[in-house]
Amino acid sequence: MKKLKFIPLLLLALGYSITQAKPTPYFNLPSPGNEAQVFAKGIVSADALEHSAPAISKENDVILWCLLDSPMYILESRKVNGEWTKPSRPSFLSENSDDVYPRFSPDGKTLYFSSRRPLPEGFPKLEDMWIWQVEKTKDGWGKPTPLDASICNGATYAHSITSDGHLYYSFRKDNGKIFDIRAVSVTNPSELINTPPNLNTENYEDGPLVAPDEDFIIFESNRLGGLGSNDLFICFKQNTTWTEPINMGTKINTEDSERFAGLSPDGKYLFWGSSRNNDNNIYWIEASVIDELRPGFVSKNTPARRAHHELIYDEKNNKVMLFGGSSPVEGGKTIPFFNDAWAYNGKAWEKVGNIGDERSGMKMAYHTKEQKIYSFGGFYNNQSLADLRVFEKGQWRKINELPEMKAAEGGFVYDSKRNRFVLFGGSSGRNQVNNSTYEWDGKIWHKFAGKSPEGRQAFAMVYDEKRGKTVLYGGLNDGVWEFDGNSWINIKTEGENPGERIAAGYCYDSKRGMMLISGGISNGKRINDTWAWDGTQWHKLSATGPVRRLMGYMTYDKKRDKVVLFGGRISWPIDENDTWEWDGTIWKKVF
């Protein structure tokens, strides 16, 4: 047998400190945690066009992966006497044909892979991929054999097999460039297997990963609802019914290509290939990310994914508060609303409780003299709302109703100089927007008699404490409007500006005396830049930031001098529940 070279256990060249956490069985690497990390940098992920997730034996003593080359080929590393061997080609590889997609059976006894090697006599005349199997032996591998023709049914590519012998694999649709996924039983090829609805579309579907108990399937697709190129989607089986495909979100997907997922044998880690950061490496993450995507999942530590929510800073208690919102499920068939409230102290989120009615699109303002949170309007039960409320003793108390100003996604701020709330715009109904301005003096509403800006919704509106003015931006065009109680003035800005902006995150930075906006939609595209308005001109603070989104709402934490952003919609129907902080220079993902 060829003498094996070993990889040093400490992997110092990788920059890992395995003394900080209990190492995993894989090259003694520390767990990646709940954030995607490059897997085995310099060993498996060597910037050599690694193509798909590694296949790991049940005993954790063999790891295989494949590379895009001509021909494509598989590499393996074995654990011998406690040390991992240098990557080499396994004995079952062909000399001149593509060998790709290694995947172990759930019992770990058989390795399946796809190959373009010649098929034996009696098989179809095929110069394309076919699934082969090879037994794992004590010292190596047995002799590879092709799956029966009744199972493969033509060219077969990426694949995954369950404990019940249900084989899911991709194939070329109509012999073209588009792939679909089908399922077949290896023990009973005539068995009809229930696959998820909308698993296959007119787009590209490939790389199935099926849980051993067929609890879920992960696949890649360039269908609508993605972040850019190919994304990973997941369907869950509930009893005998599959859910609609769910985009796996920004913990997994990027604007680049994600592909060919795999699981560790104990189900603790999820692996996949990615083209992010201008490379083609393998990434991994704790598989708890899968459970977080299950319909009905409720976290005790983090608010659920959502948009149309509201963030506000509670100065009295020095906490960021999150209220309400909504988020589509089942591919957007239904949109549940939230009635929960959460508090964030800069270290962790804590659920305050379920408070009041379910609603989204409400706007909030902090009354600095009373040190209380007020809310106006919102949306629920297919209609916009028009109530003024105050948050007291952990509950909302209704103060007043303004029927003529039903408003969702409007503007609502507290003018501390004049001690009154300013209300403008918002959606009063489908394709209907308000163009009126109202003020609440603590007792009654006053309608502003002068000319207000053109009606709009999903704009940014803050109160500039330093200059004593309400500032409005976006929702319709790139104009800045300011209101001092006497008139609205449209300010013609000079130089570079954020441009047309809808549904951006925004807040007022009281330390620097500037309105901040980040993300949103501009000219029909999601963006993730950050800007500041100082009353005279715009300043571009950052060209990049949190993953591109709309309704990634934010607020300024005065005590910690940080802007906090939570969630938002990264694509229809995909909302996030990540938390980001801006320190005046850079954005940092916290959760």
**Domain identity same for 259 and 320:** no
Tens of pLDDT, residue by residue over 443-501, are 999 999 999 999 999 999 999 999 999 999 999 877 899 999 999 999 988 889 999 99
Which residues, in sequence order, are bridge partners of residue 188?
none
Q: Which of 456, 454, 452 is nearest to 427 (CA)?
A: 456
Boundary (domain end) residue, out of 229, 257, 291: 291
Backbone angles phi, psi at 108, to 5 degrees: 75, 5
124 three-state secondary structure: coil
Q: Which of 521, 489, 492 is nearest to 505 (CA)?
A: 521
* Rounded Cα gap, residues 532 and 122, in angstroms: 71
pLDDT of residue 279: 84
Boundary (domain end) residue, out of 291, 324, 354: 291
Q: What is the dihedral of CA 458, 463, 468, 471, to 10 degrees?
A: -20
334: alpha, beta or left? (left if phi > 0; alpha if psi -120 to 50): beta
411 three-state secondary structure: strand
Cβ pair 416, 463 in contact under 8 A: yes
* Rounded Cα gap, residues 538 and 464, in angstroms: 15
For the chain, 591 residues long, give each residue's pLDDT as a single digit of tens.
334 444 443 333 333 333 345 799 999 999 999 999 999 999 999 888 888 899 999 999 999 999 988 899 999 999 999 999 999 999 999 989 999 999 999 999 999 999 999 999 999 888 899 999 999 998 899 999 999 999 988 889 999 999 999 999 999 887 777 899 999 999 999 899 999 989 999 999 999 999 999 999 999 999 988 888 899 999 999 988 999 999 999 999 999 999 999 999 999 999 999 999 888 899 999 999 999 999 888 888 999 999 999 999 999 999 999 999 999 988 888 899 999 999 999 999 999 988 878 999 999 999 999 999 999 999 998 899 999 999 999 999 999 999 999 999 999 999 999 999 999 999 999 889 999 999 999 999 999 999 999 999 999 999 999 999 999 999 987 789 999 999 999 998 888 999 999 999 999 999 999 999 999 999 889 999 999 999 999 999 999 889 999 999 999 999 999 999 999 999 888 999 999 999 999 999 998
- Residue 582 inside a domain? The answer is yes
- Residue 303 inside a domain? The answer is no
Non-local (6+) Cβ contacts of 438 within 8 A are 402, 405, 422, 423, 424, 445, 446, 447, 448
Cβ pair 233, 222 in contact under 8 A: no
Boundary (domain end) residue, out of 236, 263, 291: 291
Cβ pair 316, 560 in contact under 8 A: no
Give Cα 29 to chain centroid, integer Å. 25
- Residue 298 inside a domain? The answer is no
**Domain identity same for 322 and 239:** no
- Residue 501 inside a domain? The answer is yes
Non-local (6+) Cβ contacts of 241 within 8 A are none
Give the domain range for residue 497.
310-589
CA distances from residue 404 to 377, 378, 412, 441 in whole angstroms, order as listed = 11, 14, 15, 17
pLDDT of residue 4: 43
Backbone angles phi, psi at 578, to 5 degrees: -85, 155
**Domain identity same for 277 and 314:** no
Structure tokens at 540: 């571009």
Count H helices, E strands: the chain? Answer: 2, 49
Backbone angles phi, psi at 266, to 5 degrees: -90, 0
Residue with tokens 């603070």: 541
- Residue 365 inside a domain? The answer is yes
Neighbours of 537 (CB within 10 A): 14
pLDDT of residue 227: 87
**Domain identity same for 286 and 349:** no
Structure tokens at 136: 């794992």
* Rounded Cα gap, residues 319 and 303, in angstroms: 15
pLDDT of residue 5: 45
**Domain identity same for 188 and 314:** no
For residue 137, count CB atoms less than 10 angstroms from its CB and return exposed for 0-12, middle for 13-18, buried for 19 or more. exposed
**Domain identity same for 250 and 156:** yes
Q: What is the dihedral of CA 165, 171, 174, 177, to 10 degrees?
A: 160
Specify the amino acid at residue 587. W
**Domain identity same for 177 and 276:** yes
CATH code, domain carrying 254: 2.120.10.30
Cβ pair 277, 289 in contact under 8 A: no
Cβ pair 249, 226 in contact under 8 A: no
Which residues, in sequence order, are bridge partners of residue 387?
401
**Domain identity same for 187 and 321:** no
pLDDT of residue 95: 87
Cβ pair 436, 389 in contact under 8 A: no
Residue with tokens 């999903």: 458
**Total number of domains constituting the chain:** 2
Residue with tokens 């059976």: 105
**Domain identity same for 384 and 508:** yes
148: alpha, beta or left? (left if phi > 0; alpha if psi -120 to 50): beta
pTM to 2 decimals?
0.85
b/e sequence 396-427, b meaning 16+ C-beta within 10 Å: beeeeebeebbbbbbbbbbbeeeebbbbbbbb
Neighbours of 231 (CB within 10 A): 27
pLDDT of residue 65: 96
Cβ pair 101, 114 in contact under 8 A: yes
- Residue 299 inside a domain? The answer is no
* Rounded Cα gap, residues 575 and 172, in angstroms: 32
Backbone angles phi, psi at 86, to 5 degrees: -65, 140
Which residues, in sequence order, are bridge partners of residue 200?
none
b/e sequence 512-523, b meaning 16+ C-beta within 10 Å: eebbbbbbbbbe
**Domain identity same for 137 and 48:** yes
Residue with tokens 């990634």: 552
- Residue 337 inside a domain? The answer is yes
Q: What is the layout of strands, in order, in the sheet containing 469-473? A: 460-464, 469-473, 480-483, 488-491
CATH code, domain carrying 565: 2.120.10.80
Cβ pair 536, 526 in contact under 8 A: no
**Domain identity same for 274 and 322:** no
Q: Which of 467, 406, 460 is nearest to 436 (CA)?
A: 406
- Residue 134 inside a domain? The answer is yes
**Domain identity same for 254 and 330:** no
